[in-house]
Structure 1
């Protein structure tokens, strides 16, 4: 009935899996480096968008692209 994901307890439902401390439905989503991503998007596409945004910011001279 319950699932523990890295110390966080949640209700277990059908197809429930852990991704870091959160749960997700493995039928519709997947875990990509502790981030839940839709299977329609996929891990590779999500990180491609992220890298593209960094490169775009660098090309426009945005000096805040690397600040946290």
Structure 2
């Protein structure tokens, strides 16, 4: 993102609505630190060649959203 790094953007998004899931899809495996990843609920590396992995990621996201909804109402 040219104007704001993704980890900073997710902090701003969580400040507005903490229920929004933040998913990082990146081709920069080696350049993404654990400190940066803590801002994201899930992450996946590009290129996405295995559609089953993408399907699993979507299922994980839905489960996280449901769990958050149950705990926050």
Q: State TM-score, norm by structure 2.
A: 0.30
Higher RCO (CA 8 Å, separation ≥ 6 residues)? 2
What TM-score do the two structures reach when normalised by structure 1?
0.32
